[in-house]
Structure 1
Amino acid sequence: MTNQLAPSRTSFTQRRPVLSVVIIELLLLFAVFAAGAYATIAQLDYTAPILISFIPIALVCIVYFSVRKRWKAYGFNSLSALSPSYLFYYAPLLLVLIILSLKGFKAVTLTELLFFVFFTVLVGFVEETVYRGMILHILLPKGVAPAVITSSILFSLTHVLNMLSGQDIARTILQLVYALLVGAVLALLMVKTKQILPLILFHTLHNLIQFLGNETTSTIVYNTIVIVILAAACLLLIPGIRNANHRTQEHHVAKRTL
């Protein structure tokens, strides 16, 4: 009689993490572009492509996480578990929101305000879940640095594709750097705190301020200041990435040897 251990089951994302990330990114882009094409043909509002594509994505994520019990795996942990010592690392995000608020706000009706709140919550949930939840989580076995860098680049490229609407190269480059640094800071915070809810909250408030911001005010100066703050935040967070990388690799080695 032989006593052999049954081979451990591994998911597709564990066996093919890079391919999994490519598939996720392509599906997201296809959904947005298809919704954009439909919205253009039907002459819908500029928010329609996101609503048409992100609402089904959000529902799929909610059902999948609930059925497979994957909420905690992607960072949806109780905020009570957040160490008070980590609150300091969120200070740059608060400063960014304050700087952007200095532009002032345009007058909107209550209906418009409620719509933009729903819209920004939807975007914050979907984008954080995809980039700082799923993609970052899938790539972490490859190392923290590759996971953070890849998720940040994909996040920025996705946003730049939405920005290429005839604007000048300088503004596009500025927005590319802006999105890249936002993605990097949020990814580093996710690695350090294992909490995605504060990132969704920041993402929501950031977009809400941008939507409600005074359109007559130049945004270049404010965006430049925010870029400096985000770059400083990266320098603040990066020193801990080696320890996080070491712990992550040890964790995955331990899992393989069980």
Structure 2
Amino acid sequence: MNNKLTFSVKHPIWTVTIIELLVIILMTAAGAYATIMELDYTAPVLIAFAPIALALMIYFTWRRKWQRIGFRSLRTISRSDWLYYLPLIAVLVLYAMNGIKPVTGSEVLYCLFVALLVGFVEETIYRGLIFQTLVKKSIPAAVITSTLLFFLTHMLNLLSGQDMLDTVLQLIYALLIGLTLVLFVLKTGNIIPGILFHFVHNLFQDQFIGNTSTMTQIIIVMCVMAAVSTWLAIDLKRTKQWRQWVISGTVNG
């Protein structure tokens, strides 16, 4: 029977290591190319993430893994569980209050594509592939590993010449968002709300279309994420709501 197990089931640590190394290599190469060619700041993301997204979609379709990774109907999330997402909606409203810059139609379409691309790829890799590879072995390890690797990937911004203070804030920010979103996946077994949040969040934070967030807003959002992740962790420990979908790989609708 063991012969029928996939590589990711038999070797989860190696699987996660390979996934993260591939992401880092692609992002580093894309960043180096964009720097040499003097391309804009979104170019490395586009160059690295577009082929990753295509590969993920082909692989999930071929192996019929969409549902297993967390792409499940939103109806699987109960009405009471939707209340936990309200703080995330409040965060998006806070950033939306900054308004958007005057942009052309083509710029809007480009920003929509890049924001959705990043949301899909990062959530699918860290809260999907990596988390789901480890979760049946050890839930704490799955939560911590997916969060730390998401954090590690964002450390690549240190190589882009970004201001040190901005980078440190972004790293703390990424750590809190990564922890919060993976706890939501643990609670509901559904990755789609996280992708939607990531997409809209990136859209409002985009330098082309969104106005710059204030330091006060960033601190407020970090406090919100810290509070929500604590709330979720306590609730998950108390209710063990995640137990059935982790064991069976399905969610009751």
Specify if TM > 0.5. Answer: yes
CA distance, structure 1, for counterparts of residue 242 and residue 75 of structure 2: 26
Equivalences for residues 1-258 of structure 1 within 5 A = 6-7=1-2, 9-167=4-162, 169-211=164-206, 212-215=209-212, 219-242=214-237, 243-244=239-240, 247=243, 251=247
Is the radius of gyration larger for structure 1 or structure 2? Answer: 1
Is the CA contact (8 Å cut-off) linking 1:164 and 1:172 kept in structure 2? no
Q: Helix, strand or coil for the counterpart of 1:184?
A: helix
After superposition, the Cα gap between the structure-2 partners of 1:232 and 1:7, relative to the gap in structure 1 and judged at 3 Å, is closer
CA distance, structure 2, for counterparts of residue 80 and residue 250 of structure 1: 18
Deviation at 1:208, TM superposition (A): 0.2
Q: TM-score, normalised by structure 2?
A: 0.89
CA distance, structure 1, for counterparts of residue 147 and residue 49 of structure 2: 19
What do the CA deviations read for 1:5-49 (whole angstroms, capped 9, x no partner)?
Answer: x54621111111111111100100111111122222222222111
Deviation at 1:77, TM superposition (A): 0.6
Deviation at 1:245, TM superposition (A): 8.8
Moved more, 6-15 or 163-172: 163-172
Amino acid at match of 2:37: A
Moved more, 240-249 or 181-190: 240-249
- Number of corresponding residues: 245
Deviation at 1:155, TM superposition (A): 0.6
Q: TM-score, normalised by structure 1?
A: 0.88
Is the CA contact (8 Å cut-off) linking 1:144 and 1:241 kept in structure 2? no
Question: Tell me, which stretches of 5 or more residues in structure 2 are unaligned?
Answer: 249-253
CA distance, structure 2, for counterparts of residue 106 and residue 249 of structure 1: 43
Q: Helix, strand or coil for the counterpart of 2:40?
A: coil
Question: Tell me, which stretches of 5 or more residues in structure 1 are unaligned?
Answer: 1-5, 253-258
Deviation at 1:130, TM superposition (A): 0.2
Is the CA contact (8 Å cut-off) linking 2:186 and 2:242 kept in structure 1? no
Is the CA contact (8 Å cut-off) linking 2:183 and 2:232 kept in structure 1? yes
Q: Percent identity?
A: 47
Q: Helix, strand or coil for the counterpart of 1:76?
A: coil
Deviation at 1:106, TM superposition (A): 1.7
Structure 1 outlier segments of 4+, above 6 Å: none
